[in-house]
Structure 1
Amino acid sequence: MTKKLWFQAGVGILLALLILKYFMEINWIFAPLLIIAKTIFVPLLLGAVLFYVTEPLQRFLEKRKIPRWGSILAILISVAAVVWLFISIIGPPVINQVNNLVKSAPYIAKEITIQSENLLDVLQHREDFPEQLNDMIDKAVNSVQSIAVVFGKLIVQFFQSVFQTAFTLILVPFFFIFLLKDHEKFAPFIYNFFSGKRQVWVKKTLHDINTVLRTYIQGQLLISLILAAIMFIGYLIIGLDYSLLLVIFAFFMNVIPFIGPWIAFAPALIIAFLDPDPQMVIWVCIITLVAQQTDSNLITPNIMGKTLDIHPLTVITVILAAGNIAGFLGILLSIPAYAVGKVILKNIYDRRKEIKLAATKNV
């Protein structure tokens, strides 16, 4: 029984939980290390995302005999130009819309409350209106009101946190440049600790992890950008208020598979409900439907392909569980972490099959 995979995995999990338990009980010893880890985690994460986004450009430049320092310099200039364009062109209207939204937040919350109460009052006076449906609508109204208030608070907190963590983001360029310069040295540094077939296995596993992360980050950001462009064009055509702010919010939310687009749809629907034109809600729903259908039928299959090979139900389950455990950061990191874990387990399974097959041949 001790040679069974399930037994070994169970023992490993129990040992890991035991180590974690004692680690939490003597956390005062590791407190400085945890503080350092928390300090560098976000800059390292952002630096890694920037690296995977710009890595195709680096490969393109170096294939044309441009030296490493030249490709890094070109990438840094390109990133600085994009940031400058964003701040100078998109920054002022975004700040203006944020200020208008913050000023209008009490009015928006009041209007939502009034319209919700009017709708509920009309429905409650109908004789054929079921009591259970009444309770359900009442809960939905409360949820919509909460979403409106929370959305306004999130916008304010987001921009406050940007300024509060500005000093941390100073580290991002250092990690970014380091990854651009020495990213090929990371994998050899790890697999050179091993030898023989084990070294080959570790090398293949690291390569697969890198492929999964690159595919996910590049693909998900490209999908978010395309969806944001489709939604922005649609919002401009119908004249929806706060269109640029809603699209920027949708861009970041669309990074979260499946659930993200629905999170981005909620504030747009609320703004549409408050518009004097009653057809605005219909137009927002149509634009969202067009964007989602374009994504599910054209964009995601061609960009992401079957590299991740994760079922939608698994994605939703993992995201919800990670959100309950680690909040918004857990939601963002849950799918790539799950994909990396799946790659590792798959390679372990393949390696065990090879060992068993070789043992059978020797017998």
Structure 2
Amino acid sequence: MTMRSILKSWVERYFSDEEALILLVVLVAGFAAIIWFGRMLAPFFTALVLAFLLQGVVSALTRRRVPHLLAVIMVFLAFVSVLLTLAFILMPLIWNQLVGLVQETPRMFASGQGWLDQLQERFPNIVTPDQMQSWIGVAGREISQLGQRALTLSLTSLGNVMSLIIYLVLVPILVFFMLKDREALVGFTLSLLPQKRTLLTRIWHEMDRQIANYIRGKSIEIVIVGTVAYITFAFFGLPYTALLAVLVGFSVLVPYIGAAVATIPVAAVAGFHFGISEQFVYVLVAYGVLQALDGNVLAPVLFSETNNIHPVSIIVAVLFFGGIWGFWGVFFAIPLATLLKALVYAWPRGLEGRQTSQVPPLKQD
């Protein structure tokens, strides 16, 4: 069997149907628009995600016989209240704590260096003095570069004030109209597609359920984990509680890797503040219990309707989509992996199912 015949057979199986070609064009156009125009249309995509997240609340209110416009107004006012709280209360607090942590980093580094020297004296056979000095030199250069980057970021961020104002004004307006005119916007989008879209409809319904469950569940998980982390760190009197709590909350976006990465700043701040003491151990144990409860109780409850994806697939998806789209790529890594999984299973099987259904049944004697 020649390569040409193999390629022809593959094309006939997957792309002989008109709907399969339309699905391919839609996917390519969507990914191309995000890759090439993602930065330009970032407020639109942000508003689209937020509207998708809030639509569940609007639908829940309308099912309770609340008029659609009133439900949209109620949800929108709650959304604006949360947005203003984040913009004018939480973000300045986090920024001030970040600046304080950067300024405190040299002292933390000096304290860690002294602890490492003591460790090397107690266990000279584990690490040689030359290796210790090499590691200390590398860490010192990295910390110095981190301080310079933080200073540069604080100076360049002054020029992004207009962008922040655009987001604070434009995104809420887009969210409101997306919620208010959802049916009209969806109807217009469907009018651009051909009438025959059985495969598209099947995949869309599956992904709508998956993405809605993931976005809402992940948002709830971030809030719960971040809030519990803040209460835990505040109970132990740990400094930079808001900054660390936000970091721990957003660490759930990256399964397996996020929890490990967030452990480093938590352990560093706790070790610098309490030293190697019982209080330091208590903080790490409490943080470990929080991560264990999140991974074994909270996440399974929130994502019970999400398709199971192998951990290797999740990590690859996070690395790939995060490298392409940054934060949003990490946020949507699991839904995008679910989309690819749904396409792999639904595309050939969907086509074969339609072709089988079109075969007339055999007459029975």
TM-score normalised by the chain length of structure 1 = 0.76
Of 3, 6, 9, which residue of structure 2 is paired with 1:3? 9
TM-superposed CA distance for 1:303, in Å, is: 0.8
**What is the match of residue 226 of structure 1?**
224
TM-superposed CA distance for 1:344, in Å, is: 2.9
**What is the match of residue 333 of structure 2?**
334
Query: Secondary structure of the equivalent of 2:273?
Result: coil
**What is the match of residue 111 of structure 2?**
111
Query: Secondary structure of the equivalent of 1:310?
Result: coil
**Residues 260-298 of structure 1 deviation map (CA, whole Å, 9 limit, x = unaligned):** 222222211111121244234322321221112111221
TM-superposed CA distance for 1:151, in Å, is: 6.9
Q: Is the Cα contact below 8 Å between 2:94 and 2:242 reproduced in 1?
A: yes
Of 268, 271, 274, which residue of structure 2 is paired with 1:273? 271
**What is the match of residue 98 of structure 1?**
98
CA 1:358–1:52 in structure 2 vs 1: closer, same or farther (change >3 Å)?
closer
TM-superposed CA distance for 1:147, in Å, is: 7.4
Query: Secondary structure of the equivalent of 1:211?
Result: helix
1:103 partner amino acid: Q
Query: Secondary structure of the equivalent of 1:241?
Result: coil
**What is the match of residue 343 of structure 1?**
342
**What is the match of residue 80 of structure 2?**
80
Structure 2 counterparts to residues 176-215 of structure 1, below 5 A: 176-192=175-191, 193-195=193-195, 198-215=196-213
**Residues 313-356 of structure 1 deviation map (CA, whole Å, 9 limit, x = unaligned):** 21112222344555555333332222222223332133123035
CA 1:348–1:276 in structure 2 vs 1: closer, same or farther (change >3 Å)?
same
TM-superposed CA distance for 1:78, in Å, is: 0.9
RMSD value, Cα: 3.9
TM-superposed CA distance for 1:300, in Å, is: 1.1
**What is the match of residue 253 of structure 1?**
251
TM-superposed CA distance for 1:5, in Å, is: 6.3
CA 1:147–1:247 in structure 2 vs 1: closer, same or farther (change >3 Å)?
farther
TM-superposed CA distance for 1:119, in Å, is: 3.2
Unmatched 5+ residue regions in structure 2?
1-5, 16-20
Unmatched 5+ residue regions in structure 1?
25-29
**What is the match of residue 27 of structure 1?**
none
Q: Is the Cα contact below 8 Å between 1:191 and 1:203 reproduced in 2?
A: no
Query: 2 CA distance for matches of 1:139 and 1:224?
Result: 38
**What is the match of residue 240 of structure 2?**
242
Identity %: 19
CA 1:8–1:95 in structure 2 vs 1: closer, same or farther (change >3 Å)?
closer
CA 1:322–1:281 in structure 2 vs 1: closer, same or farther (change >3 Å)?
farther
Q: Is the Cα contact below 8 Å between 2:213 and 2:305 reproduced in 1?
A: no
Segment drifting more, 63-72 vs 295-304: 63-72
Query: 2 CA distance for matches of 1:172 and 1:357?
Result: 47
Structure 2 counterparts to residues 22-101 of structure 1, below 5 A: 34=36, 37-40=38-41, 42-86=42-86, 90=90, 93-101=93-101
Query: Secondary structure of the equivalent of 2:39?
Result: helix
TM-superposed CA distance for 1:202, in Å, is: 1.9
TM-score normalised by the chain length of structure 2 = 0.76
